[in-house]
Structure 1
Amino acid sequence: MTAVKYDGDDEGVARLLAGAAALVGSVRNCWLITRPDRTVTARPMGVVALENSDHDWKLVFLTDGRSRKSSEIDRAGNVIVIVQREPGEAYATFSSRAAKITDPAVVASRWKEAYGRYFPNEADRLNAIFIEITIERMELWIRGVTPEPFGFVPTVVERVGGVWRLDSPAH
Structure 2
Amino acid sequence: MSQHRPLTRATGTLLGLALRSAARRRTDTNPANILASARAVMSGRTYCTLITSGEQGPSARVVEPLGPDADLALRVGTSTTSRKARQAASSHSALLAYESHRDRAGVIAHCTADLISDRALCWQWFSPTWRAFWPAGPDDKDFMLIRCFPHLLEVWDVRRGVTPEPFGLRSARIQRDGDTWVPAHE
Q: Deviations over 1:70-114 (max 9, x none)?
A: 111111211111100112210111002101110123212333433
Question: How far apart are 1:68 and its partner, in Å?
Answer: 1.2
Q: Which amino acid aligns with 1:163?
A: T
* Larger relative strand fraction: 1
Q: Which of 136-145 and 32-41 deviates more? A: 32-41
Aligned residues: 156
Q: Which amino acid aligns with 1:22?
A: A
Q: Which residue of 1 aligns with 2:185?
A: 168
Q: Which residue of 1 aligns with 2:68?
A: 50
Question: How far apart are 1:38 and its partner, in Å?
Answer: 5.9
5+ residue gaps, structure 1, are 1-10
Contact 1:15–1:145 (CA under 8 A) maintained in structure 2: no
Which TM-score applies when normalising by structure 2? Answer: 0.75
Contact 1:101–1:129 (CA under 8 A) maintained in structure 2: yes
Which TM-score applies when normalising by structure 1? Answer: 0.82
Question: How far apart are 1:13 and its partner, in Å?
Answer: 1.4
Q: Which amino acid aligns with 2:152?
A: R
Q: Which residue of 2 aligns with 1:130?
A: 145
> What's the secondary structure of 2:55's corresponding residue?
helix
Q: Aligned in 2, Cα 1:120/1:103: closer, same or farther, shift over 3 Å? A: same
CA distance in 1, matches of 2:164, 2:110: 23
Is 1:147 aligned to 2:158, yes or no? no
Contact 2:134–2:140 (CA under 8 A) maintained in structure 1: yes
Question: How far apart are 1:126 and its partner, in Å?
Answer: 2.0
Q: Which of 141-150 and 30-39 deviates more? A: 141-150
Alignment of 1:78-93 (within 5 A): 78-93=93-108
Question: How far apart are 1:128 and its partner, in Å?
Answer: 1.1
Root-mean-square deviation (CA), in Å? 2.1
Q: Deviations over 1:104-130 (max 9, x none)?
A: 232123334332122124798222111
Is 1:61 aligned to 2:72, yes or no? no
CA distance in 1, matches of 2:46, 2:129: 14
CA distance in 1, matches of 2:138, 2:154: 39
CA distance in 2, matches of 1:67, 1:117: 16
Identity of aligned residues (%): 21
Is 1:19 aligned to 2:37, yes or no? yes
CA distance in 2, matches of 1:122, 1:130: 12
4+ residue runs of structure 1 moved beyond 6 angstroms? none
Q: Which of 73-82 and 121-130 deviates more? A: 121-130
